[in-house]
Structures are given as structure tokens and as C-alpha cells.
Homo-oligomer: A and B are copies of this chain.
């Protein structure tokens, strides 16, 4: 891979999370499928927030969380995403820059406010999300920084952005520019419901533009409309250069051509909140990949990062993740 000034450029939703503790009854009462992400409009966001308990705000967004992880691992990251010029937008911008990620996408000066995700953490440490995408959906091809894309070893795309029509076009343009520059393109499928909404176009994107795929068991079986993980596995092979398929406590599988690697999960000290597990797995994997680690080591670094983030409430790391690398790759 040619010399590049950026390891990973993430393109994703720019969201502030509002995290509160909740219970299953609340989820049922408000028709929120447990463990999933429901898109909500401004009115429903207002109603749900009124009903929600006291919250804690912190910057989120799936790929943005991964970028925080890459910075914490010592990688060089950049992010493209859209906030409004409001207080929550200022918080998002501060937090991602404060960890050392480049973030220069101009704020929207009119239109919807900065996106927020209401996160309900149940006593079993699962998180159920309701997202008001707000200004995030304004991201379009005009926000792409093609110099950044050329400079990034990997351009990493967030599946959730597929819900925003302008962003789809931006993704395809970004992927083409990355490949033209000899770089790689990664995609996270983000969420099973998201896959259900966009199955065909995700498959097209995967065939035409994606080198590295991240998906969990639910997402990959939904993508190929099959019942079990093993059947999905057979479908994946040959459809992208590298696939990293995560299965929570069962670990992950890393596939590439004829290579198949089984990577164990790293048992966390405790499980407080599974928010960000997939995001941080991807962070570890992509960091490893851009540093030239073997594919199984990429998966092991990902597993170590995921283990850290589920051991506390919140989707961004609380310790310098680079301290986890030696233990992760010594196997």
C-alpha cells in the first residue's frame, strides 16, 4: 500500500447519544424493538425524550465511534459527517477532534438540528436505539473531501447512512475515488433492520464497491435472507475481498478468498452496555489492517477493543486502546 497520511477516513452519521437506563416494559410500551435501531422523526423524538428518564449525553454515531477507537489505538483518522451549527453539533465536533481525529465537514447553518440517538440501556446491558437523524441526512457528495479520500488507506462507510438518499450518492462517489487512488473501501452493515430496508442496494454496493465488510450474525443472515450463520458464511465468500463477521460472545470469523479464521471473543471484566461493540471491533480490525497485521491479528485487536467498550456505559473507549495490542496479538 502506498504511503498515505491517513489510516482510516470514516464517513458516517454525526450523532450525539442520549443514554438512559430503561426496562423492557418501556421498550414494549413505546414499540421499540429490543436491540435494534428505530428511525424516528422530530415529533416522535420529542415524545420519546419526554418519556425517557434522565440522560447522559456523549458523542456517538457508529463510524464516528470507530474513529475514536482508531485514534485511541494510535491510528491517524479523519471523519466526514454533517452536524448543524447548534450546541449538540459543537459537542460532536469537539469530542471527535479532542481525540485527534480530523473533522472539517462544514456545519449546516439551516435546516434540522444535529442528530441525536436516544439509547435505552436495559438491565441485561443491551441497548435499544431510537435515532432522529436531523442534520446528518444533509450529507451529500458536496461534503466529500477528495484529497482526504486519496490520502486514506481505507475509506470506511457506515451502513446507517444508507437511510439518507444524498449520502448514498456520496458513498458511491467516495468509493470510486478511493479505488481510483489505489485505496480500500470498507462497509459496516450497521443493523439488521437497516439491512432489511436496503437489502438489494447493499448487495449491489458490496459487489461493486466494497473490499472489507463488517457484519454481525443478524445482519449477514438478513442480507442473504438465510436462516443460519453457516449458510450466510457460504454466501459471503467470494463476494468481497475480506469479511469480518462478528457473533458477540462467540467471537468472530474473518474470511478472505480461501482463508477462514476463527477469532475468539475477549471476555470483558463485566458487561455494562453493549453499545459500540461492533464499532470498536471494526476500529481494532481496521487499525490492524492499516498497520500490516495478519488478518487473524486484526480480528484479535478488534475483539480486544470491543471487550473494553462493553465493560462500561458509553460507546467510546475509556482507556488508551493501544495498551491492549500486545496482549491481543501475542497468541
Give the B-binding residues of A (Cβ under 8 A): 21, 49-50, 52-59, 68, 86-88, 91, 94-96, 98-99, 113, 314, 316, 318
Contact = CB atoms under 8 A, between A and B. Distances in A.
9 contacts: A49-B94, A54-B58, A54-B68, A54-B94, A54-B95, A56-B56, A56-B57, A56-B58, A56-B314
Contacts of A57: 56-58, 91
Contacts of A99: 53-54
How many copies make up the complex? Answer: 2
Nearest to A58: B56
A58 B21 CA distance: 14
A275 B87 CA distance: 24
A52 B88 contact: no
Contact of A86 (B49, B54, B87, B314): B87
A204 B7 CA distance: 63
Contacts of A98: 52-55
The 8 closest A-B pairs by CB, nearest first: A57-B57, A54-B95, A87-B87, A54-B98, A56-B58, A53-B98, A87-B88, A54-B99
A50 B88 CA distance: 15
A236 to B, nearest CB: 35
Given A55-B91, A57-B58, A87-B113, 11 more contacts: A49-B94, A53-B98, A54-B96, A54-B316, A55-B95, A56-B56, A56-B58, A56-B314, A57-B57, A57-B91, A86-B87
Among A54, A99, A316, max chain B CB count under 10 A is at A54
Contacts of A318: 21
A91 B316 CA distance: 21
Nearest to A56: B58
Contacts of A56: 56-58, 314
A262 to B, nearest CB: 34
Contacts of A113: 87
Contacts of A50: 94
A21 B319 CA distance: 10
Among A52, A57, A99, A314, max chain B CB count under 10 A is at A57
B59 A94 contact: no
Contacts of A21: 318
